[in-house]
Amino acid sequence: MLEGRDLACWRGERAVFAGLSFTLPPGGALLLVGANGAGKSSLLRLLAGLVPLAEGELLWQGQDALADRVAHAARLRYLSHQDALKPSLSARENLSFFARLWGGDTEAALDSVGLSDLAELPARVLSSGQKRRLALARLALAPAPLWLLDEPTVGLDAASVDRLGVLLAKHRAAGGAVMAATHLPLPLPGAQELRL
């Protein structure tokens, strides 16, 4: 589904990594591991089309993944370190913004992360774990084949990690693929490790 061949990435004036190759099949999962600063977030941003590819090839089903940026953006969901919430909008309004872009059932997505009871609250008053859950609810809105997740479980309690495990399992069972950077255990059975 997604293949990287000899990828290199520069941030500022420095090479972060080079010669990085991987394959990610439908239903597959890759865990990015490595020390702080190794380049995990940079790789996810590169795969999302947000950081330029310095060298190498990124292929989607055998074709140049970045040739059509709009098509590439449409096939992925990228969850960064930041939750990307509008603080003055309610949890429901934050999510319905993305539902207007992608489609999907806002109420079901809120329920999938256990936030139905807090749907009316402005995002600014949610706790850090609740904000993370609201960011994760975007994954449950409408299918996209590739999920790129940067430290998705930071701040989550055990029940919320379990709920994320359900979302990940459903996504993979439907043929979706996941690449996740993490320093914490993630509910991704059978995931391969990619060490940077």
Ligand X SMILES: Nc1ncnc2c1ncn2[C@@H]1O[C@H](COP(=O)(O)OP(=O)(O)OP(=O)(O)O)[C@@H](O)[C@H]1O
Residue 39 within binding range of ligand X, rule CB under 6 A: yes
Given a contact cutoff of 8 angstroms between Cβ atoms, the answer to whether 2 and 75 are in contact is: no
**Position 37 contacts ligand X (CB under 6 A):** yes
Q: Of the two residues 80 and 116, which places its CB atom closer to ligand X in the complex?
A: 80
Regarding 12 and contact with ligand X (CB under 6 A), the answer is yes
Name the minimum Å distance from CB 12 to ligand X: 3
State the number of CA atoms in the 13 A half-sphere of 31 facing the CB: 16
Residue 82 binds ligand X, judged by CB under 6 A: no
Helix/strand/coil percent split, the chain, to 5? 35, 30, 40
> Is 60 within 8 Å of 75 (Cβ atoms)?
yes
Quote the DSSP letter at residue 191.
P
Contact between 53 and ligand X per CB under 6 A:
no
Rounded distance between C-alpha atoms, residue 98 and residue 90, angstroms: 13
Does the protein bind ligand X through residue 56 (CB under 6 A)?
no
Pair type for strands 192-195 and 29-33: parallel
Question: Rounded to the nearest whole angstrom, what is the least distance from the CB of residue 150 to ligand X in the complex?
Answer: 7
- Minimum CB separation of residue 149 from ligand X in Å reads 12
Nearer to ligand X, 36 or 63 (CB): 36
Q: Measured from the CB atom, is 33 or 99 closer to ligand X?
A: 33
Among 2, 16, 48, 156, binds ligand X (CB under 6 A): 16
In the region spanning residues 153 to 182, those forming contacts with ligand X, defined by CB under 6 A, are 181
DSSP 61: T
Q: Cα(186)–Cα(184) distance, rounded to whole angstroms?
A: 6
Q: In angstroms, rounded to a whole number, what is the distance separating the alpha carbons of residues 83 and 92? A: 15
Only segment of 34-42, 92-100, 107-115, 121-129 that touches ligand X (CB under 6 A): 34-42
- In this chain, which of 40, 72, 138, 172 binds ligand X, going by CB under 6 A? 40
Name the residues that contact ligand X, by CB under 6 A. Answer: 11-12, 16, 34, 36-42, 181
